[in-house]
Amino acid sequence: MEQSIIPKIRNMGIVAHIDAGKTTTSERILFFTGLTHRMGEVHDGQAVMDFMKQEQERGITITSAAITTQWKGHQINLIDTPGHIDFTLEVERSLRVLDGIAMVFCAVGGVEPQSETVWHQADRYKVPRIAFVNKMDRPGADLTQTITMMNEMLGANAIAFQLPIGSEENFKGVIDLVEMKAITYDDLQEIVADIPADLHTEAKKQRDQMIEKLADFDEIIMEKFLEEKEVTADDIRHATRNAVLKLLITPVFCGSAFKNKGVRRLMDAVVDYLPSPIDRGIVLGYDLDKPEITVSRKPSWKEPFSALAFKIINDNYVGQQTFIRVYSGELHAGSYVYNSTKRKKERIGRIMRVHADEREEITELRAGDIGALIGMKFTTTGDTLCDENTAILMENIHYPETVIDMKIAPTSLKERDRLGIALNKMALEDPSFRVRYDNETEETVISGMGELHLEIIVDRLKTEHKVEVAVDKPAVAFRETVVSEIHHDYKFKKQTGGHGQYAHIVFRVEPNPGNGLEFVNHVKGGNIPREYIPAVEKGFRHTMEKGILAGYPMVDVKFTLVDGSFHAVDSSEMAFRTCTEQGLKEGIKKSLAQLLEPIMKIEVNTPDEYMGDIIGDINRRRGHIDNMRRYRKGSQKLAGIVPLMEMFGYASALRTASSGRANYSIEFLKYAPLPKAIEEEIITERAKMKT
């Protein structure tokens, strides 16, 4: 039975740049698959997939919505992801568990900045994909130009599998190059007919080109192509599926989701070309006690249970929902599983099949399924769940760096506890959102991916959690690091009534570019008892969190504990932690640390006549443009880098400079050292705040 069910599962996502039409496409999929009986629209706040109040008000997708539906005997687990760069983690964690994606492009905008980001995220997880060029009915829509951009900018090896019938406002339907049929639309009805005579020559030419490209990846088609034999539709589908699974090509389909054109053919392509869990094959992990040993699981019900938690939502009615992707085995309601990341047992309360904001209670999940668990106590995003007797630890999810800070405070004392609870819940849901409390200034600081990200967080605090808060202006999230290797010997000795406090450590601190914070213990011969080593690590990590120069967290630092000594009576965990914190502050002198600022990738699409002014403005903001390329006739795409601290208010400046005709997108690239003069200003300002 399993062999007939798992191959008919498609775990697929809809991903794209903001405003390419992802959610509208998803809504049409729900309608045509029979899951909904009316079509929700993004512009009127009625989209099923955008069920959060903040999504409906802004007309954008903020959180990934998961939904299960059926198409032609296949179970489709569909995830509609956000397109705004501030919510890139939602895309990241969805791609981690999806088997395939349908990449949506706007036929007018083509490959936009976030299209590139999402494409490269999919590359990281080696996710097979097909493409849907949407909005073919819009003025300026150009399928050929979009395919060219996909090949030049993404290396997509994109191949047209459809041609449009009519253009812009006269767009009527598509020509299916596989079946060589014309599909037009009368309201919701799909009409299949022969290709019109005036389009037949072009369709034949495009089909021959498609077959020629597929011949590079399929011996049967190559043989028929060379012998000039007829290549059947089944030949094309078989070759295309194999090439898509191997990430060799990207089949391109087109339509207008808003006008109900092309979506059903896109769903046919999902079934025909995107992988099932069987196609994606085994999943790899690590042995819990011996990380150097690789462990694998097959996508089978008979294998030991394994799953990855990829998302958490706190719901007012059912409590915390933990979304999981099951890779092997079976999971039953009421059973126990092992969280190998936390090394704790969890009891499964209830299991839900989620339909956006609605839920269907089920009794089990099996290999290939996506569902939500109710009642998890310890599990967070990225954790592995498995059978305790055959444990496996899967690779965690990559979390991006936060770049924006904001001070937040309750408006009254009675709100303080509620604010803390609400912030902790939201940080659990969203690992790209961080909360920290500054003991010196007694302020709570929240950090996120951008201004919109924090704006949504504050809005949710007020509407969902009913907590009234006062917020400061968003500020850049600076970081600190060390610039050279430091060797230090520090002794902490304090005598009070009764037992004293004694700890002695010898350590080395050095830059650790790109590898985060790293603690290494090289103490030999019991000079520091084993039970005190974790206290030294806690002291190191706590000091790194607080910073040395200006109170910003330190990054990319390696701490090596070399030697030390202890006192049989006066030494304690607290003494060694304090010794480490004070030793680090003394050892990392201000001259040996530096401030880092977030540097952003920027892309600006602008008409030619404004290019000089825009480049000049970027230069004045300490940025620079690295390359320019023709975006479309009369327009350029400018790409470069710019410090985030110089970008506040840039949207208004760009509108003014281009008469509202240019647009831009930025995303985090890296942290880089601040110029010395600006660094000194920031350190001085932070010192004033603490006095």
Supply the pLDDT for residue 450.
77
Supply the pLDDT for residue 541.
94
How far apart are alpha carbons 265 and 176 in whole angstroms? 9
Q: Calculate the CA dihedral of residues 567, 570, 573, 579 and round it to 10 degrees.
A: -80
Residue 649 — very low, low, confident or very high, per pLDDT cuts 50/70/90? confident
Residue 286 main-chain phi, psi, to 5 deg: -130, 150
Supply the pLDDT for residue 49.
42
Q: Which residues partner with 214 through β-bridges? A: none
199-213, 237-251, 442-456: least confident range: 442-456
In the predicted model, is pLDDT for residue 136 greater than 90? yes
In the predicted model, is pLDDT for residue 162 greater than 60? yes
In the predicted model, is pLDDT for residue 385 greater than 90? yes
For residues 406-425, average pLDDT: 85
Residue 83 — very low, low, confident or very high, per pLDDT cuts 50/70/90? very low
For residues 305-319, average pLDDT: 81
Residue 60 — very low, low, confident or very high, per pLDDT cuts 50/70/90? very low
Which burial class, exposed, middle or buried, applies to 346 when counting CB atoms under 10 A from its CB (0-12, 13-18, 19+)? Answer: buried
Supply the pLDDT for residue 254.
96
Proportion of the chain above pLDDT 70, given as a percent = 90
For residues 108-130, average pLDDT: 85
The pLDDT tens digits of the residues spanning 504-547 come to 999 999 999 988 899 999 998 889 999 999 999 999 999 998 89
Supply the pLDDT for residue 74.
93
- Amino acid identity of residue 316, one-letter, is N
Report whether 471 contacts 460 (CB < 8 A): no
How far does CA 203 lie from the centroid of its chain?
38
How far does CA 669 lie from the centroid of its chain?
14
- Amino acid identity of residue 535, one-letter, is A
Give the residue from 268, 264, 274 showing the smallest Cα distance to 233. Answer: 268
For residues 437-444, average pLDDT: 71
Supply the pLDDT for residue 355.
66
Q: Which residues partner with 642 through β-bridges? A: 600
The pLDDT tens digits of the residues spanning 460-489 come to 888 888 888 888 888 888 999 999 999 999
Report whether 256 contacts 170 (CB < 8 A): no
- What pTM does this model have? 0.73
Residue 240 main-chain phi, psi, to 5 deg: -65, -45
For residues 426-440, average pLDDT: 77
Averaged confidence pLDDT in the chain? 86
Q: CB neighbours of 324 closer than 8 A, spacing ≥ 6?
A: 307, 308, 309, 310, 365, 370, 371, 372, 373, 385
Query: Of the spans 62-71, 285-294, 341-350, which averages the highest pLDDT?
Result: 341-350
Residue 18 — very low, low, confident or very high, per pLDDT cuts 50/70/90? confident
Give the residue from 148, 129, 141 showing the smallest Cα distance to 174. Answer: 141
H or E element: which one contains 95?
helix 88-97
In the predicted model, is pLDDT for residue 632 greater than 80? no
Residue 121 main-chain phi, psi, to 5 deg: -65, -40
In the predicted model, is pLDDT for residue 645 greater than 80? yes
118-122, 135-139, 169-173: least confident range: 118-122
